[in-house]
């Protein structure tokens, strides 16, 4: 009899464990936190997704992570699935505003949403956003160009071609505008000459569209660079190319390397990037890509899950190491926590990315480190 009672008690505890649980973690096996990442063709999202899940699990949450292959319809299904599974909070980096109907569904179901790295535009269905200082990313890219070409003292005009990120991503506008605040004065004074379209800022939608990289797909950037090399850039030697992120930067390296004018590493233009992707770390060590902007996703994941924890426990969030501000979605201001991006060149790549343990020993082996 006693034994039956004990077994029954264990079964009840296993099924309804939440009753005994402290805080808001769901001990019954239901989903606490759904993590929806946009794509894997840009490698950072693989790390971001894994780190977010790891951090949530460490705090005792039941967390699931999914990637959407750059397809908003697919991500919407993944989010509907999180809603069905009873998620209490969703962390999402979307592909485009096609997500908004499903965000509204989640909000109706009482689910908290954190906009991760990319701001969910034209939506009023969430309250929090975590990201890096976006304008500073562009500022660092342009500053690297300014220094590498010694623009302050340049006697001859230097030639540059401009690339931007995906027009479907609000971040792309901030990156570009941050860079152009540094470059525009040099263009105005004639020290820097733009080859190809020149939107002074992202507000010049027509020209921005011309330099944009739809879906952040490297193959689109490569095709555009190849086209430039046989047209606008045919009779000039480019000194620099502003590339918004690492896959685009590497695509530009590939396209240039196939052109006789840039057929040795020394002849390649100064090419920028962002994200500290492993193949780019290799390119930086080999002098193929000049720089990257490192956005440590360990820190962003950590800040985001700390925020999620505070929200789920009904506490006032206090996220150390971030700058608190607001961003506007066109519908409302959302509380935003910003982290600081870091400029990485060959001089500090080892210290900042390799020695800090961002990549595992096995991953580093693949690039001979
Ligand atoms: C991110 C970048 C990334 C790009 C392409 C942006 O929203 O901030 O880090 O390179 O998307 O995935």
On the question of pLDDT at 14 being above 50, the answer is no
Q: Where in the chain is the domain with CATH 3.40.50.2300?
A: 2-126+296-339, 134-294
- Extract the tokens encoding 8: 């029954």
Task: Name the nearest CA neighbour of 205 among 176, 178, 182, 184.
Answer: 176
pLDDT in tens, 72-82: 999 999 999 99
Residues with CB under 6 A from ligand 1: 42, 44, 117-118, 165, 169, 171, 216, 245, 274-275, 295
**307-333: burial string, b at 16+ Cβ within 10 Å, e else:** bbbebbeeeebebeebeeeebebeeee
Question: 360: pLDDT confidence band, cut at 50, 70 and 90?
Answer: confident
Distance 245 CA to ligand 1 centre (A): 7
Mean pLDDT of the chain, nearest integer: 93
Q: What tens digit of pLDDT does each residue of 208-254 get?
A: 999 999 999 999 999 999 999 999 999 999 999 999 999 999 999 99
- State residue 278's pLDDT score: 96
What are 133-180's pLDDT values in tens digits?
999 999 999 999 999 999 999 999 999 999 999 999 999 999 999 999
CATH of 2-126+296-339, one of 3.40.50.300, 3.40.50.2300, 3.40.50.720, 3.30.1330.10: 3.40.50.2300
- The CATH architecture that domain 134-294 belongs to is 3-Layer(aba) Sandwich (3.40)
> CA torsion angle for 59, 64, 70, 71 (degrees, to 10)?
-140
Distance 333 CA to ligand 1 centre (A): 22
Confidence at 1, pLDDT banded by 50, 70, 90: very low
**Percent of the chain clearing pLDDT 70 (strictly above):** 92
Q: Could you tell me the two tokens for 346?
A: 């060959």
| Confidence band, pLDDT 50/70/90 cuts, at residue 27 | low
Burial classification of residue 106, based on how many CB atoms lie within 10 Å of its CB (0-12 exposed, 13-18 middle, 19 or more buried):
buried
Q: Is 33 helix (H, G, I), strand (E, B) or coil?
A: strand
CA dist 111 → 104, 147, 237, 327, 333 (Å): 10, 47, 54, 21, 19
Query: Model-level pTM?
Result: 0.92
pLDDT above 70 (res 205): yes
Q: Measure 232 CA to ligand 1 centroid, in angstroms.
A: 28
Residues 6+ apart with CB under 8 A from 122: 97, 100, 329, 330, 331
**Could you identify the atom of ligand 1 that is nearest to the CA of residue 38?**
12
pLDDT at 12 over 50: no
Measured at the CA of 164, the angle between CA 79 and CA 273, to 5 degrees, comes to 90
Q: How far is the CA of 246 from the centre of ligand 1 (A)?
A: 9
Question: Count of alpha carbons within 13 Å of 48, Cβ hemisphere only?
Answer: 29
Q: What is the pLDDT of residues 254-266, one digit of tens each?
A: 999 999 999 999 9
Beta carbons of 291 and 241 less than 8 angstroms apart: no
């Amino acid at each position: 009899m006693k034994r039956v009672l004990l077994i029954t008690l264990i079964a009840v505890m296993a099924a309804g464990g939440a009753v005994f649980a402290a805080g808001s973690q769901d001990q019954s096996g239901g989903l606490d936190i759904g993590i929806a990442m946009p794509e894997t063709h840009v490698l950072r999202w693989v790390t971001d997704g894994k780190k977010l899940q790891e951090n949530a699990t460490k705090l005792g949450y039941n967390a699931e992570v999914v990637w959407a292959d750059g397809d908003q319809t697919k991500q919407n299904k993944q989010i509907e699935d999180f809603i069905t599974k009873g998620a209490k909070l969703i962390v999402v980096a979307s592909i485009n505003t096609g997500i908004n109907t499903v965000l509204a569904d989640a909000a109706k179901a009482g689910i908290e949403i954190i906009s991760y790295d990319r701001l969910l535009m034209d939506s009023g269905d969430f309250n929090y956003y975590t990201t890096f200082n976006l304008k500073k990313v562009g500022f660092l890219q342009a500053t690297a160009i300014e220094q590498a070409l010694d623009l302050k003292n340049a006697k001859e005009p230097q030639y540059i071609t401009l690339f931007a990120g995906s027009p479907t991503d609000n971040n792309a506008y901030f990156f570009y505008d941050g860079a152009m605040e540094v470059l525009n004065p040099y263009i105005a004074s004639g020290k820097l000459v733009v080859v190809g379209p020149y939107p002074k800022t992202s507000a010049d939608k027509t020209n921005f569209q011309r330099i944009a990289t739809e879906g952040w797909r490297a193959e689109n950037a490569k095709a555009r660079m190849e086209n430039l090399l046989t047209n606008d850039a045919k009779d000039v030697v480019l000194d620099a190319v502003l590339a918004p992120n690492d896959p685009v930067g590497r695509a530009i390296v590939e396209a240039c390397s196939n052109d006789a004018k840039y057929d040795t590493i020394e002849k390649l233009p100064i090419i920028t990037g962002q994200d500290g992707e492993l193949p780019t770390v290799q390119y930086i060590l080999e002098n193929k890509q000049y720089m990257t902007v490192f956005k440590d996703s360990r820190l962003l994941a950590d800040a985001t899950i700390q925020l999620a924890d505070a929200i789920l426990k009904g506490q006032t969030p206090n996220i150390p190491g971030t700058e608190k501000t607001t961003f506007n979605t066109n519908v409302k201001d959302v509380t935003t926590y910003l982290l600081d991006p870091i400029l990485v060149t060959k001089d500090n790549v080892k210290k900042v990315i390799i020695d800090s343990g961002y990549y595992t020993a096995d991953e580093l082996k693949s690039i001979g480190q």
